[in-house]
């Protein structure tokens, strides 16, 4: 074996080890054995995106999920007036766009590379071909998604409780409710922070209005 061939194998081995380590940190793949992760990596595709390059747009037909190897990705949507609303900024080893490999629904938000970014893509077709020989992987991934959905449901319930408190004019209790609501998912934490800022703004306006009335 030539020195160049040996170096290439070492580079490939190092790359695979790095990707496996990142998959092991990703919630979607929690609990999947090392051998299965290595098999999954073998059917994934590598793709690089330039800074400011659009990865996909909202309502695009999705056919792949993304694992960030390096760089940063901005996830955002738009309001009725076309103004951008940032949902999250993601870095390695975050995964995004994963639901489409299960449901084939259009993208619910847009994604753009903030800086030069490298990703591994798992295409739906490749995943479906992979599953018959690796059924345990699919079972674990669905279990992990179910856990995430339970967390989303719990957080939305707490947010609804905070909204009820706002409607009653009990802003302090609403802020306390949201202060106890946290998530390690960037998009969910952004939602919580947005509601918190909204309540604080309403509370300040109410206080200013009351001071004006009393004077």
Q: What is the pLDDT of residue 125?
A: 92
Residue whose structure tokens are 């609804």: 160
Q: What is the pLDDT of residue 86?
A: 86
CATH class of 3-133: mainly beta
Q: What are phi and psi of 197, to 5 degrees?
A: -65, -40
pLDDT along the chain (215 residues), means of 10: 45 76 85 90 93 95 91 89 85 86 85 95 92 89 81 75 79 78 62 69 73 62
Q: What does each C-alpha distance from 156 to 98, 153, 162, 165, 177 come to in angstroms?
A: 21, 5, 10, 14, 12
Q: What is the pLDDT of residue 144?
A: 84
What pTM was estimated for this model as a whole?
A: 0.68
């Amino acid at each position: 074996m030539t020195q160049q061939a040996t170096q290439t194998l070492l580079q490939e081995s190092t790359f695979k080890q790095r990707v496996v380590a990142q998959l092991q940190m990703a919630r979607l793949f929690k609990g999947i054995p090392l051998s299965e992760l290595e098999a999954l990596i073998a059917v994934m595709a590598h793709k690089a995106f330039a800074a400011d390059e659009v990865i996909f747009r909202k309502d695009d037909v999705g056919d792949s999920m993304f694992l960030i190897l390096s760089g940063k990705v901005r996830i955002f949507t738009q309001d009725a007036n076309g103004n951008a609303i940032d949902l999250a900024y993601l870095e390695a080893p975050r995964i995004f766009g994963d639901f489409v490999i299960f449901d084939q629904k259009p993208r619910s938000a847009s994604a753009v590379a903030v800086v030069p970014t490298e990703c591994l893509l798992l295409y739906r077709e490749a995943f479906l071909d992979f599953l018959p020989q690796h059924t345990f992987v699919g079972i674990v991934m669905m279990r992990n998604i179910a856990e995430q959905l339970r967390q989303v449901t719990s957080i939305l319930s707490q947010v609804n409780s905070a909204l009820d408190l706002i409607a009653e004019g009990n802003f302090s209790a609403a802020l306390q409710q949201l202060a106890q609501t946290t998530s390690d998912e960037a998009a969910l934490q952004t939602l919580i922070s947005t509601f918190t800022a909204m309540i604080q703004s309403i509370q300040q306006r109410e206080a200013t209005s009351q001071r004006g009335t009393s004077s």
